[in-house]
Amino acid sequence: MDWPQLRPTKLLLELNSRLHRSNLRDRKKPEPAFSGKIIGGPGTADPIQLRGTRVTLLNLVRSAYDYIIRSERIEELEGLRRKVHRCFEAGAIATGSTLRMTGGNKPYAQVRHDFEIADLYRRNAEALGRVFSDLGPQAERLAASTDMGNVSLAIPAIHPTIGIESLPAVNHQPEFARHCITEKADRAVYDGALAMAWTAIDMAGSEKLRARLMAA
């Protein structure tokens, strides 16, 4: 394989760290999640094929990356974060680069749903005509970045979602944004707010549930 002429900069840091992160994926079950993007740095990019995976080599004087690391539980995240950091450190050592990592010290936790409250919400949403799909085991893998997870570990909570009939468009896509200015999206806001309000009334009206929540 012909490699482009590269200065001793951050380009191999990215390449090396990706290879090491791939090894982390192979050894950890269920699979942890990594994603990232280049957010700054002048230079050129040279795409190549490496072991069947498209990798872009970066010929940069300096570069910045914004990465996300996810695990199923917040208790597992710190150990995983240290492993990923060592991957980047290995890339820096291999290329003679200077590495500085910031952030990541205020992670989002997993959401712990209160099933009794969730059942109340589902009943109220269904009364408004909302339909809940049976996702089976896939439901256990659904995740999003929200500080509501941290709240749910401290007090009983739910974090329901509601559809606006946008599929196949999903969050963070321009097509999804266009669906958010439709009558169906407006209806979702109304239904979601009303179902939550009814749920709060049901919670307050149940002496047993109210006592449990007050003691939490």
Listing DSSP states for 39-54 in one string gives EE--EEEEEEEETTEE
- Provide the residue type at 20 as one letter: H
Range 108-128 average pLDDT: 92
Range 157-179 average pLDDT: 91
Q: Residue 152's domain spans which residues?
A: 115-215
Predicted TM-score (pTM) of this structure: 0.66
**What pLDDT does 48 receive?**
41
In the block, residue with structure tokens 């941290």? 150
Dihedral pair phi/psi, residue 49, rounded to 5° = -105, 130
**Local confidence band at 21 (pLDDT 50, 70, 90 cut-offs):** low
Strands 43-50 and 53-60 come out as antiparallel
**Local confidence band at 49 (pLDDT 50, 70, 90 cut-offs):** very low
**What pLDDT does 45 receive?**
47
Judgement on whether residues 80 and 153 belong to the same structural domain of the protein: no
**What pLDDT does 86 receive?**
82
- Provide the residue type at 141 as one letter: R
The neighbour count for residue 196, using CB atoms within 10 Å, is 16
Domain membership flag for residue 135: yes
Structural element, H or E, at residue 192: helix 183-205
Q: Do the beta carbons of residue 180 and residue 201 sit within 8 Å? A: no
Judgement on whether residues 65 and 136 belong to the same structural domain of the protein: no
DSSP 65: E
**Local confidence band at 142 (pLDDT 50, 70, 90 cut-offs):** low
- Counted domains in the chain: 2
Cα separation, 194 vs 143, in Å, equals 24
DSSP 157: B
The neighbour count for residue 155, using CB atoms within 10 Å, is 10
Domain membership flag for residue 141: yes
Judgement on whether residues 83 and 166 belong to the same structural domain of the protein: no
Cis status, amide bond into 30, omega within 30 of 0: yes
